[in-house]
Amino acid sequence: AKVIFKVPPRVFSDNEFRTLTMPFQLLVGENEFLYNSRKATERARRILPDGDIELIQNCNHAIVSDQTKLVKEKVLSFLGGR
């Protein structure tokens, strides 16, 4: 089935991403269907080397429902370290 968006996703430029100064976590499902998950995490690591960036296996766009326990542990660990 083709995904149709009322508001299409926006791709931020490298310069826009570089303006982020706060700690952040990016969790991406390896089977993401909206974009290439490997390229997205590689790009994020290149642009924002201090970010907590991870490709989560065995899940797609819905990482919270696909890998609930793992995502919960990662988010709580990230927030607990702040």
Amino acid, res. 37: S
pTM of the complete model? 0.82
What pLDDT is attached to residue 65? 87
What pLDDT is attached to residue 40? 93
- Long-range contacts at 52-56 (CB < 8 A, ≥ 24 apart): 52/23, 52/24, 52/25, 52/26, 52/78, 53/25, 53/26, 53/28, 54/25, 54/26, 54/27, 54/28, 55/28, 55/29, 55/30, 56/27, 56/28, 56/29, 56/30
**Mean pLDDT, each 10-residue run in order, the chain (82 residues):** 70 91 93 91 93 93 91 94 64
Token pair 């797609």 in the structure block, residue = 60
